[in-house]
Structure 1
Amino acid sequence: MAQNLFDLVVKNGDVVADSIVRKLDIGVKDGKIVALSPEITDRADKIIESEWKMIFPGFIDPHTHMDIPIKETRSADDFTSGSIAAAFGGVTTILDFTVQDKGESLDHALQRRLDAAAGKSHVDFGMHINVTDCPDRHLERIPKLIQRGFSSFKTFSTYREAGMMATLSQFREILRQVDSHGGILMLHAEENEIIERLTKKYVSEGCFDPIYHARSRPPEAEAKAIEQAARIAGELNARLYIVHLSSRAGLESALNARRQGVKIYLETCPQYLLLTEDSYRKKNGHYYIASPPLRRQEDCEALWQALADGHIDTVGTDHCPFTVSQKDIGHGHFYQTPNGLPGVETLFPLLYTYGVVQGRISISRMVHILSKNSASIFGISDRKGEIAIGKDADLVIWNPAIDSEISTDKLHGAADWSPYDQKPIAGKIEHVILRGKSLIENGKFVGTSPAGQLLLT
């Protein structure tokens, strides 16, 4: 019997490719997209009929934190539960982070994280390397790590008391090492002196309520850190990636640097587009504590406009979930509450509903923000980021005709609450495909043993 030409054909879908939407059939063989045609008539082992459905490339979350230690607990999702949640949200690639202990080499920290992820992820994953302990003997390993295929690194301009902060001189050397060897450096940009001073002030005055999390980490802390880092990046002519941009002030600092020729990439998160500091005034306001903090409505609007204008390159989630009991560890005090929010499962539905459907961004822009740009910036565009011949067959089939709603009890991560609970969604994910194999079919998880692969650059 003749072998079928395709392993899978996805038929009659409205495919978002080449920045336009076209009705196409997609032919898949050996995990790759091998045909895009108005009509594929050749035989296939499996056919998914997708008329009236939209077909997107698998989404990339460039910023997740699975199973990391924070304030004497750990983020609630490990790579198994977190990757299942990702799959239900159409995210077929996550980029996570190492955690470097004091005195630990970058190589050892990386191996610990790879061991934690090995055989557990249902989606493909990459690993950014946190640099939080900065003696020369550690920084000298950066070129070798880039040669191994780990080309993205991250530093912090705050968390001095936790031993994570890079001084400006250390930041300069890390950036020089990373950029000169073809890597890219990411920065958590909040100016430490401002935060420490205000935190001590509010705590000494007995101001413990969640709103003081926002007051102790004001927009000017973000803006100043970006300004300082961008100045160094400009002097070195180096690329710099700002994670979780949260404020109009921070945005203006970054755009000013761009106007001066600095090569700076910007990431924001759904929480900074859709939530405001009013959440901190709720009865459960401490649940919403994450860093940077939620801002004001005018900051949300500025970030939406920057997305539409192409000034912000990516949207990640900073997925770092905690259960209610974990959030309660700090007794509601802003400075003792584990920082982080769940988000990987709701990333795409929120951006589609509140971005595309509400007319804030185009559908093409959304695909660039959620797939193509991250693939390009982080060196995996040969495999990921778009529906094109030769790319991995990572596909999301979306039914825009079925309205749904985010419901905590129907989400699939380990957190038992969501900041987006009861938010309406204009559509529903029906199928998610990773390298030609179904993870989600008709809204149900069908993955067997974890098949996620480590992505090297």
Structure 2
Amino acid sequence: MLIRGGTVVSEGRSSTADVRVRGQRIAAVDEHLASEPGEEVLEAAGVLVLPGLIDPHTHFGLDSGTGPTADDWSTGTASACAGGVTTCINFATQFPGQGFAEALDAVRRQAEERARVDWSLHLNITRLDDGWERELEQVVDQGVSSAKVYTTYKDAVFYVDDWTIYRLMQRSGPAGMLVQMHAENDDMLQGRRRELEAADKTSLAFHGEARPALAEAEAVSRGLFFSRVTGSPIYLVHLSNPLSVDLVTEARNAGIKALAETCPHFLCLNDSVYQRPDATRFLMTPPIRPEAMRRGLWERVRAGQVDTVGSDHCGYSLEQRGDTSAFGQVRNPGIPGVETTLPLMYTFGVKAGLIDLQQLVRLTSEGPARAFGLWPQKGRIAAGADADLVLFDPRRSGPLRDEELHSAAAFSPFAGLTLQGRVKTTVCRGRLVFDRGRVLGEEGWGRFTERLPALPESGWSG
């Protein structure tokens, strides 16, 4: 395959160039490469040629106890194909009765049968059984070098207490495991919820208020403390509060190994959506924040204080929400997003003049590749790297429609927004998996990608 005449953006540079693919790898990147006999040529004049996106935060097939998400590995990765995402890192929850290996194996079997793009896994640790230290090292040896903990959801399987987190982080660094944290102080959430219920403020209009931004920042500060005293790196997921990012930045400046992730919904929407009659479309945790916080997050993204952008794709349908008469009754918060990250970040970031193309690639490809041990195999356009590429046409413009998307959730919180640019073609390891509106990726084509151990001395992998 020869991709000819596009604007190639990778590793801090952009230039008009051709990209030659042989087999599953990139063979050459140069100007004016002559086509060879039998070579498929993709004309890319006027199109951006970017490294395939790496979504570090997806929940395909998640079952939180009320049934699985509408999106399984087949529909979720079909949506990824259409969004220019060539690698997804999905979560594998440790349910009761499972050790670390059993939790990973259960999800791995699903992915091996149905994934249309490449994938890896984060272990979601919910407890530490006898012998967990050795099992943690075995997980890393098998190519899974990250694990998530939750500081909230005390009434569900996900919550772990501070002592468990501390014990885990005493061992995670030496084992090569990067700990991720969903940071919200559960006691603060419960206290605010009780106040709202006592005041009869229970409608979806109060969903954002029920999970105050301060609860996130407090839990972030605790995670950073654990990183400081153990020396193990930490990755703070889906940060919605500029103060949370500031805490990570201050910690890094003090030598703590910490990474910050945010999501498109926090950068592109504000909490006025909870006043709308269709507020059920915007239910996720943490919730969308006020406009001043949205602007503040962009300031920090622009300043390079945020390392990655993940979709937090959690493809429940609106019907799976259950009772939406009160925020406390909603069963399944979560939104689809793997397909819309690139056009959203281009529209609200690049087109708006807040970031440039190089920053876009750093946030969506290079940053996740480095953070999670996929670099230099993925996240860049260079000879020898996997041929993971997305051709993005910035000239296409129009409102996003639910019906143009491929998620089984069958809605998008971003529907109605006018987006600049659409994915034209997605290539995963040299194979077309999406082209001009058609998903071509086959179930089972996606391959498990082993990841390098996290490096405590740097806070990065790879």
Give the TM-score, by structure 2 length.
0.94
> 2:459 maps to what in 1?
none
Superposed counterparts of 1:288-327, under 5 Å: 288-327=282-321
SS of equivalent to 1:198? helix
Query: Which runs of at least 4 in structure 1 moved beyond 6 Å after TM superposition?
Result: none
How far apart, CA to CA, are the structure 2 residues paired with 1:418 and 1:231? 37
> 2:45 maps to what in 1?
51
Confirm or deny that 1:98 pairs with 2:92.
yes
Confirm or deny that 1:26 pairs with 2:19.
yes
> Per-residue deviation at 1:140?
4.0
> 1:395 maps to what in 2?
389
| Paired amino acid for 1:321 | G
SS of equivalent to 2:6? strand
How far apart, CA to CA, are the structure 2 residues paired with 1:277 and 1:85? 26
SS of equivalent to 2:176? coil
How far apart, CA to CA, are the structure 2 residues paired with 1:139 and 1:278? 46
> 2:154 maps to what in 1?
160
Superposed counterparts of 1:58-457, under 5 Å: 58-70=52-64, 72-327=66-321, 329-337=322-330, 338-457=332-451
Using the TM superposition, name which of 393-402 and 58-67 deviates more: 393-402
How far apart, CA to CA, are the structure 1 residues paired with 2:279 and 2:442? 38
Gaps of 5+ in 2: 452-462
How far apart, CA to CA, are the structure 2 residues paired with 1:286 and 1:449? 31
> 1:3 maps to what in 2?
none
SS of equivalent to 1:141? helix
> Per-residue deviation at 1:136?
3.8
Aligned-residue Cα RMSD (Å) equals 1.5
How far apart, CA to CA, are the structure 1 residues paired with 2:266 and 2:429? 32
Using the TM superposition, name which of 349-358 and 140-149 deviates more: 140-149
Q: Is the 8 A contact 2:71 2:408 kept in 1?
A: yes
Gaps of 5+ in 1: 1-7
> 2:30 maps to what in 1?
37
> Per-residue deviation at 1:181?
1.2
SS of equivalent to 1:215? coil
Q: Is the 8 A contact 2:57 2:310 kept in 1?
A: yes
Cα gap change, 1:359 to 1:106, in 2 (>3 Å): same
SS of equivalent to 1:426? strand
SS of equivalent to 1:330? coil
Give the TM-score, by structure 1 length.
0.95
> 2:457 maps to what in 1?
none
> 2:454 maps to what in 1?
none
Q: Is the 8 A contact 2:49 2:389 kept in 1?
A: yes
How far apart, CA to CA, are the structure 1 residues paired with 2:105 and 2:343? 33
SS of equivalent to 1:245? coil
Q: Is the 8 A contact 1:286 1:333 kept in 2?
A: no
Using the TM superposition, name which of 34-43 and 370-379 deviates more: 34-43
> Per-residue deviation at 1:322?
1.7
Cα gap change, 1:74 to 1:206, in 2 (>3 Å): farther
SS of equivalent to 1:116? helix
> Per-residue deviation at 1:240?
0.5
How far apart, CA to CA, are the structure 2 residues paired with 1:102 and 1:448? 33
SS of equivalent to 2:314? coil
How far apart, CA to CA, are the structure 1 residues paired with 2:344 and 2:190? 34
Using the TM superposition, name which of 130-139 and 234-243 deviates more: 130-139
> Per-residue deviation at 1:336?
2.2
Deviations 1:295-339 (A, max 9, x none): 111111111111111100000011002212112x02332122111
SS of equivalent to 1:52? coil
- Where relative contact order (Cα < 8 A, 6+ residues apart) is larger, the structure is 2
> Per-residue deviation at 1:100?
1.3
How far apart, CA to CA, are the structure 2 residues paired with 1:369 and 1:455? 20
Q: Is the 8 A contact 1:98 1:113 kept in 2?
A: yes
> Per-residue deviation at 1:138?
3.6
How far apart, CA to CA, are the structure 1 residues paired with 2:179 and 2:390? 30
How far apart, CA to CA, are the structure 1 residues paired with 2:245 and 2:10? 29
How many residues align structurally?
449
Q: Is the 8 A contact 1:372 1:385 kept in 2?
A: yes
Using the TM superposition, name which of 360-369 and 438-447 deviates more: 438-447
Using the TM superposition, name which of 110-119 and 343-352 deviates more: 110-119
> Per-residue deviation at 1:76?
1.4
How far apart, CA to CA, are the structure 1 residues paired with 2:165 and 2:3? 47
Q: Is the 8 A contact 2:99 2:129 kept in 1?
A: no
| Paired amino acid for 2:241 | S
Using the TM superposition, name which of 422-431 and 339-348 deviates more: 422-431
| Paired amino acid for 1:164 | F
| Paired amino acid for 1:12 | G
> 1:5 maps to what in 2?
none
How far apart, CA to CA, are the structure 2 residues paired with 1:447 and 1:311? 35
> Per-residue deviation at 1:259?
2.8
Using the TM superposition, name which of 160-169 and 49-58 deviates more: 160-169
| Paired amino acid for 2:13 | I
> Per-residue deviation at 1:235?
1.3
How far apart, CA to CA, are the structure 2 residues paired with 1:198 and 1:401? 46
> Per-residue deviation at 1:216?
2.1
How far apart, CA to CA, are the structure 2 residues paired with 1:449 and 1:251? 38
SS of equivalent to 2:360? helix
How far apart, CA to CA, are the structure 2 residues paired with 1:241 and 1:318? 14
| Paired amino acid for 2:30 | S
Q: Is the 8 A contact 1:242 1:265 kept in 2?
A: yes
How far apart, CA to CA, are the structure 2 residues paired with 1:19 and 1:210? 43
Instruction: Give the share of equivalent positions with the same residue, in percent.
Output: 29
